Structure 1
Amino acid sequence: MATLAVGHAPTLVDCDLRAALDAAGVIGTWYWSASNGRFILDEGAASLLAGDGALAGAMLLPDRARARMLESDHARFERRFRIACRLGGSFFTEYRARSAEGYRSVIERGRLFHDEAGRPTHGQGIVLDVTEPADKPFSIVPAVHGERAEALDLAADHAIACRQALDRLAHSELRLLADLLLMRLGQEIAR
């Protein structure tokens, strides 16, 4: 990092971007091509998700690109990705991945793009490791399990898709109702 003069407030130029990304838990990046359904991961994402950093830059089938994702989290990931492909826009999901150190809590965030006809073309995003140390238990990923949690998660996925679809309409009352549903689902998930 650059040396700062006394009394000088740091600017973005003064920050070490890689150190800031590491501190935020950024593991790597991904790119998805709709034309062949394959993912391209950078070295960090390939190491954690595919289990082999040497796969960085290779075009990977979805199962290979997420080989270390826990099997129980695959269906939720695929459901959210399909919704994002259909609607376009933001993509966000969380899951667990196996690593040499144990299980990691992972968040993926990105954006899926469509052409003028509304067909998906590609997507890109980042992979974050939000695993908290065992001696400092705090996580932004809610620890919900069981049948109730699965039902709430599915309901939230559908409510998010509904809200995103309503964004395309100029009908504020319907958007408000969708927002209320999402807020209430969030309260139930937090319980």
Structure 2
Amino acid sequence: MLDEGAAALLAGNAALAGQPLPLEAALARTHPDDREWVFKHIRRVRQTGGSFSAEFRILTETHEVRWVLNRGALTRDGTGAMQGRGAYIDTTDAHSNPFIPAAALGQDVEDPLIVAADCCIEAHTALGQGEHVDLQRLSETLLSGIGRRLAQRG
């Protein structure tokens, strides 16, 4: 499920926030040149669970190219269904040329903030499986701070 901002940016409709969506609807604005590899990557993680990281392009309603970094993790809930937690960050300003092929980007950068985001997502996911609501709120705050810092780069 997407929050309101992600639903507006990625699906093109903020009213879809909080609803279970098929991948095609949730990421309806994915750039045609990135769509195949992004969907393949997401589907693979949906089968196995684990962390997810991808930076890809989307097309806005005015056909502007924007870049989005998605960092998150998928785990099975008590019913066996996959549940995802993560963040979408608009990284457009970090790209001097919006037409760089996404496949040319390295996805495994050893950046300390990216490593911290991955660790925090794992901790947040683990805390969500227990009765540690106070600690889960703290991890949400940390994730939000890391996301803001990553978004400020450029």
* 1:54 Cα deviation from its structure 2 partner: 1.6
Q: Determine which of 104, 113, 118 is the counterpart of 2:75.
A: 113
Q: Which amino acid aligns with 1:44?
A: G
Distance 1:125 1:70 in 2: 21
Aligned residue number for residue 80 of structure 1? 41
Aligned residue number for residue 35 of structure 1? none
* 1:133 Cα deviation from its structure 2 partner: 7.3
Structure number with higher helix proportion: 2
Q: Aligned runs of 1:66-77 on 2, under 5 Å?
A: 66-77=27-38
Partner deviation per Cα, 1:36-90 (whole Å, 9 max, x = no partner): xxxx111100110111112111222211111111122111112211332343221
Give aligned pairs, total.
Answer: 105
Q: Determine which of 17, 25, 45 is the counterpart of 2:6.
A: 45
TM-score by length of 1: 0.46
Distance 2:31 2:87 in 1: 19
Structure 2 unaligned spans of 5+? 109-154
Aligned residue number for residue 143 of structure 1? 100
Structure 1 unaligned spans of 5+? 1-39, 157-191
Distance 1:92 1:81 in 2: 9
* 1:144 Cα deviation from its structure 2 partner: 3.6
Aligned Cα RMSD in Å? 3.3
SS of alignment partner, residue 93 of structure 2: coil
Q: Determine which of 53, 57, 60 is the counterpart of 1:99.
A: 60
In the TM superposition, structure 1's runs of 4+ consecutive aligned residues that sit over 4 Å from their partners are none
TM-score by length of 2: 0.56
